[in-house]
């Protein structure tokens, strides 16, 4: 083996809009360095604090390197090694028997964005479960509801080239902690700021981004729609809207205008907790300091009416003539329609309600086989107590494909070790910039690890499934994805990405969904003119009636529930070295102190006799947990926060999702996200200095 180092190009797989390009240096088969690719125009050679030490994850001593079979009770994490042939045979036998007895819908795949790579995340897995006739998983726990909100106005969930923000005179970062969750956009924000732009953050929490802004507008949680209606009402009242432009570019303005007038400025101020004068100032700032850009990101949709929030922000952009930035990705569901199987006639379950699905005695057929990959539901899914109760079922056969012994893997019957990003091939789509990257394997898989794709190829073979594409190689899948015919992929070939690592999508410079009311589509696959690219005419932006609707689980929505649990809980992605649950079990990624804390305002803490650093009990009708209180001055009264992403093993056996709301929001439960942020709780000192009848004991 040569001792001359080689450099292999790739890109990060994490659930993040930035999709950073990187370079891995390999010497004698071992990855010795990983750094950002300095040639990438957007990510510019910079990686985040999570990923800078990524090689520590690859070579971590706790990495799973062999298949395992459970030997003890579920949840205890007791396993024995098992060979791949035996593991695949046992899984195939159990799946085959379950499908023969109850039909394909007894099998439930459960996955999300453990990798965002188009090859490893899906395709083969989707083909496998389609061939089985398995229950279909609605993976809308997060961003898809936001996409639907934007599409309600724009026709498709697209925004604009994020680099255009550098030329804005007013930047409104709405519900996005850009410095933490979209860090490579921040240099463009800073460039605009140096050139005189004002940076405004709309967020109920004083995040690190809010603290760097010129103005932090801090509405009560979940009241964004009322704030938008208040702003639109001021724009209308003060003749800051061009009615002639709206008559050409939009439909439904009279209905939206009527709703803004019905709520009124005083109504918006009362609901949001923002002074009327500040709402007026914000409206005038947006109107008088153009070009303005409204930047929204995922997160706000984690509410019962989260789709309305994203719809409202997009509508404000349309009415005010501002730029709007949300997703900038190729609309891959359309582009790759022939690559991924279309939805079948099988039943669909929303992943947000996994606990309900696994514990419902009337579900027919019941889920008796759970195939989990790219997700850690025992840690990240709401209503955690019910999720764990379902995972504990003796009649549930659970297979977990993982890199580490996560909270979920501890409940598995079989655990299969999978590769990390530097050990497999993948095609990386970005939803925060306009570049696509090819991730090439830099090293051979460690131990006996296999890519997700190879695992599903072997399972398909063992089950003798007869469906097209189940034996396709990873390279063939990547080539097929790039050959979909979408005009924005024009000129981007596998060979080009092999050579250069990344390529800019063929999106015209300055393209914006608000101004260019047609979007290119791939060649028709429905019997039309095959091989001819088409364009979808989006028509006028749709405004229409829009009302503020309080969440069912909120102070405005249920006085009885709020009396028992008067504090609104938001579970935030606020730690620089976490991403969902990816690093929640890694000691060197944990903050100091290495335990989750409850952030509570000084007034709310004093009213409950709680001191900073004191252990407290947080509880509601779903469950309870004990954490340390961190008394803070950055929260408004009535709001508490806890960090999202901890593993139970590093959080005294439970995480914030013991408390969170699994209700599905959106206009259609089939596309709704979990209402994580519509959660009411109460807090008391531990170990029970005041007896409370509410909420189960921990």
Average pLDDT over residues 318-335: 61
Q: How confident is the model over 548-582, as pLDDT tens digits?
A: 999 999 999 999 999 999 999 998 866 554 554 55
How many helices (H) does the chain have, and how many strands (E)?
22, 29
Comparing 585-589, 617-621, 623-627, the range with the smallest average pLDDT is 585-589
pLDDT at site 256: 97
pLDDT at site 339: 61
**Domain identity same for 72 and 40:** no
Q: How confident is the model over 336-392, as pLDDT tens digits?
A: 445 666 667 789 998 889 999 999 999 999 999 999 999 999 988 888 899 999 999
Q: How confident is the model over 573-592, as pLDDT tens digits?
A: 665 545 545 555 556 655 56
Pick the last residue of a domain from 269, 292, 325.
Answer: 325
pTM for this model (two decimals)? 0.90
Angle 516-519-525 from CA coordinates, rounded to 5°:
165
Cα(608)–Cα(337) distance, integer angstroms: 55
In a domain, 16, yes or no: yes
In a domain, 331, yes or no: no
Pick the last residue of a domain from 38, 58, 78.
Answer: 58
In a domain, 1, yes or no: no
pLDDT at site 691: 39
CATH number at residue 356: 3.40.50.740
**Domain identity same for 435 and 396:** yes
**Domain identity same for 89 and 212:** no
Q: Is the pLDDT of residue 400 over 60?
A: yes
C-alpha to C-alpha distances, 91 to 395, 431, 452, nearest whole angstrom: 14, 35, 15
DSSP lists the bridge partners of residue 136 as 348
Reported as a pLDDT band with limits 50, 70 and 90, residue 334 is: very low
pLDDT at site 522: 57
User: Domain tally for the chain?
Assistant: 4
Angle 30-10-35 from CA coordinates, rounded to 5°:
65
Residue with the bigger pLDDT between 319 and 298: it is: 319
pLDDT at site 275: 98
**Domain identity same for 210 and 289:** yes
**Domain identity same for 121 and 170:** no
Q: How confident is the model over 166-190, as pLDDT tens digits?
A: 999 999 999 999 998 899 999 999 9
In a domain, 522, yes or no: no
DSSP lists the bridge partners of residue 629 as 598
Residue with the bigger pLDDT between 362 and 113: it is: 362
**Domain identity same for 131 and 155:** no
Q: Which of 660, 579, 673 is nearest to 138 (CA)?
A: 673
In a domain, 549, yes or no: no
Q: Is the pLDDT of residue 329 over 70?
A: no
Cα(352)–Cα(670) distance, integer angstroms: 11
Average pLDDT over residues 398-418: 97
Average pLDDT over residues 327-331: 46
**Domain identity same for 128 and 157:** no
**Domain identity same for 10 and 89:** no
Question: Which domain range does residue 212 map to?
Answer: 144-325
Q: Which residues of 550-574 are buried (b: 16+ CB within 10 A; e: fewer)?
A: bbbbbbbbbeebbebbebbbbbbbb
In a domain, 129, yes or no: yes
Residue with the bigger pLDDT between 285 and 530: it is: 285
pLDDT at site 426: 97
**Side-chain-facing half-sphere of 273: CA atoms under 13 Å:** 16
Q: How confident is the model over 238-266, as pLDDT tens digits?
A: 999 999 999 988 999 999 999 999 999 99
Q: Quick check: 475 and 425 in contact, CB under 8 A?
A: yes
Q: Quick check: 10 and 425 in contact, CB under 8 A?
A: no
Q: Is the pLDDT of residue 473 over 50?
A: yes
pLDDT at site 519: 61
Q: Quick check: 646 and 652 in contact, CB under 8 A?
A: no
Comparing 47-61, 183-197, 289-303, 542-556, the range with the smallest average pLDDT is 289-303
What's phi and psi for 307, nearest 5 deg? Answer: -65, -40
In a domain, 363, yes or no: yes
**Domain identity same for 477 and 571:** no
Q: How confident is the model over 4-44, as pLDDT tens digits?
A: 899 999 999 998 889 999 999 999 999 999 999 999 999 99
pLDDT at site 337: 45
**Domain identity same for 14 and 131:** no
Token pair listed for 444 = 């051979």
**Domain identity same for 53 and 181:** no
Q: Is the pLDDT of residue 666 over 60?
A: no
Sheet of strand 414-417: strand arrangement: 79-81, 68-70, 414-417, 397-402, 369-373, 107-110
Q: Which residues, at least 6 apart from 203, have a Cβ–Cβ distance to it below 8 Å?
A: 173, 174, 175, 176, 177, 209, 210, 216, 217, 218
Q: How confident is the model over 636-659, as pLDDT tens digits?
A: 999 999 987 666 654 566 788 899
Neighbours of 156 (CB within 10 A): 16
In a domain, 695, yes or no: no
Q: Quick check: 377 and 74 in contact, CB under 8 A?
A: no
Average pLDDT over residues 528-541: 56
Q: With residue 296 as reference, give the H or E element that holds it.
A: strand 292-296
Token pair listed for 360 = 């419902």
pLDDT at site 527: 38
CATH number at residue 619: 2.40.40.20
Cα four-point dihedral sign 684, 688, 691, 693 = positive
Average pLDDT over residues 74-85: 96
Average pLDDT over residues 484-507: 90
Alpha-helical regions (H) of 420-485? 452-462, 474-482
CATH number at residue 232: 3.40.228.10
Q: Is the pLDDT of residue 665 over 70?
A: no
Q: Which residues, at least 6 apart from 361, have a Cβ–Cβ distance to it below 8 Å?
A: none
Token pair listed for 615 = 């252990």
Q: Quick check: 619 and 686 in contact, CB under 8 A?
A: no
CATH number at residue 23: 2.20.25.90
Token pair listed for 596 = 């989750």
**Domain identity same for 150 and 131:** no
Reported as a pLDDT band with limits 50, 70 and 90, residue 697 is: very low
pLDDT at site 570: 92
Mean of the per-residue pLDDT values of the chain: 87
Of 285-294, 327-336, 668-677, the range with the highest mean pLDDT is 285-294
Pick the last residue of a domain from 457, 482, 499.
Answer: 499
Helix (H/G/I), strand (E/B), else coil: 631 = strand
pLDDT at site 93: 98
pLDDT at site 154: 82
Residue with the bigger pLDDT between 114 and 568: it is: 568
Alpha-helical regions (H) of 384-451? 384-391
User: Percentage of residues in the chain with pLDDT exceeding 70?
Assistant: 86
Reported as a pLDDT band with limits 50, 70 and 90, residue 230 is: very high
């Amino acid at each position: 083996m040569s001792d001359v180092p080689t450099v292999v190009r790739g890109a990060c797989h994490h659930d993040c809009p930035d999709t950073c390009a990187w370079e891995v240096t390999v010497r004698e088969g071992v990855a010795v360095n990983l750094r950002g690719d300095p040639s990438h125009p957007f990510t510019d050679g910079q990686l985040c604090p999570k990923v800078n030490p990524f090689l520590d994850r690859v070579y971590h001593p706790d990495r799973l390197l062999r298949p395992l079979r459970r030997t003890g009770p579920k949840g205890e994490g007791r396993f024995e090694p098992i060979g791949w042939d035996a593991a695949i045979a046992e899984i195939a036998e159990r799946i085959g028997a379950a499908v023969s007895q109850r039909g394909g819908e007894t099998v439930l795949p459960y996955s999300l964005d453990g990798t965002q790579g188009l090859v490893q995340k899906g395709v083969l897995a989707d083909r496998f479960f389609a061939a089985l006739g398995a229950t279909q998983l609605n993976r809308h726990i997060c961003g898809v509801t936001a996409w639907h909100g934007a599409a309600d106005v724009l026709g498709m969930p697209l925004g604009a080239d994020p680099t255009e923000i550098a030329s804005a005179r007013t930047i409104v970062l709405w519900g996005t902690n850009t410095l933490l969750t979209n860090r490579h956009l921040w240099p463009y924000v800073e460039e605009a700021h140096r050139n005189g732009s004002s940076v405004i953050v709309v967020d109920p929490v004083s995040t690190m981004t809010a603290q760097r802004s010129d103005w932090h507008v801090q509405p009560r949680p979940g009241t964004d729609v009322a704030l938008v209606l208040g702003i639109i009402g001021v724009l209308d009242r003060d003749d800051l809207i061009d009615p002639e432009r709206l008559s050409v570019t939009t439909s439904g303005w009279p209905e939206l205008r009527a709703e803004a007038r019905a709520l009124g400025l005083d109504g918006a101020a009362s609901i949001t907790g923002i002074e009327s004068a500040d709402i007026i100032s914000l409206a005038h700032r947006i109107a008088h300091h153009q070009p303005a850009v409204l930047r929204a990101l995922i997160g706000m949709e984690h509410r019962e009416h989260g789709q309305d929030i994203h719809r409202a922000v997009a509508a404000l952009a349309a009415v005010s003539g501002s730029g709007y930035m949300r997703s900038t990705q190729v609309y891959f569901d359309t582009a790759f329609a022939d690559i991924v199987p279309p939805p079948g006639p099988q039943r669909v379950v929303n992943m947000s309600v996994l606990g309900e699905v696994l514990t419902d005695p009337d579900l027919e057929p019941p889920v008796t086989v759970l195939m989990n990959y790219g997700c850690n539901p025992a840690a990240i899914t709401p209503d955690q107590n019910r999720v764990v109760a379902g995972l504990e079922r003796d009649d549930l056969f659970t297979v977990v494909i993982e890199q580490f012994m996560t909270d979920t893997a501890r409940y598995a019957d079989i655990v299969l070790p999978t590769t990390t990003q530097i050990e497999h091939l993948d095609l990386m789509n970005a939803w925060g910039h306009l570049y696509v990257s090819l991730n090439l394997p830099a090293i051979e898989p460690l131990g006996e690890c296999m890519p997700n794709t190879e695992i599903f190829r072997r399972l398909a073979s063992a089950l003798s499934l007869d469906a097209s594409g189940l034996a396709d190689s990873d390279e063939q899948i990547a080539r097929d994805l790039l050959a979909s015919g979408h005009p924005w992929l024009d000129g981007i070939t596998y060979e080009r990405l092999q050579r250069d690592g990344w390529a800019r999508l063929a999106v015209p410079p300055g393209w914006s969904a608000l101004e260019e009311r047609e979007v290119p589509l791939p060649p028709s696959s429905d019997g039309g003119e095959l091989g001819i690219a088409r364009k979808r005419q989006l028509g006028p932006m749709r405004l229409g009636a829009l009302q503020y609707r309080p969440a069912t689980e909120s102070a405005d929505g249920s006085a009885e529930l709020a009396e028992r649990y008067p504090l609104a809980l938001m579970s935030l992605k606020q730690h620089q070295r976490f991403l969902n649950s990816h690093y929640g079990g890694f000691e060197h990624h944990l903050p100091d102190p290495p335990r989750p804390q409850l952030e509570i305002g000084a007034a709310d803490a004093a009213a409950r006799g709680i001191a900073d650093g004191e252990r407290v009990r947080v509880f509601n009708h779903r469950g309870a947990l004990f954490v340390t209180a961190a008394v803070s001055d950055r929260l408004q009264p009535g709001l508490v926060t806890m960090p999202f992403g901890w593993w139970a093993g590093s959080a005294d056996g439970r995480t914030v999702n013991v408390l969170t709301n699994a209700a599905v929001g959106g206009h259609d439960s089939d596309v709704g996200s979990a209402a994580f942020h519509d959660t009411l709780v109460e807090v008391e000192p531990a170990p029970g200095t005041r007896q409370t009848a509410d909420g189960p004991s921990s």
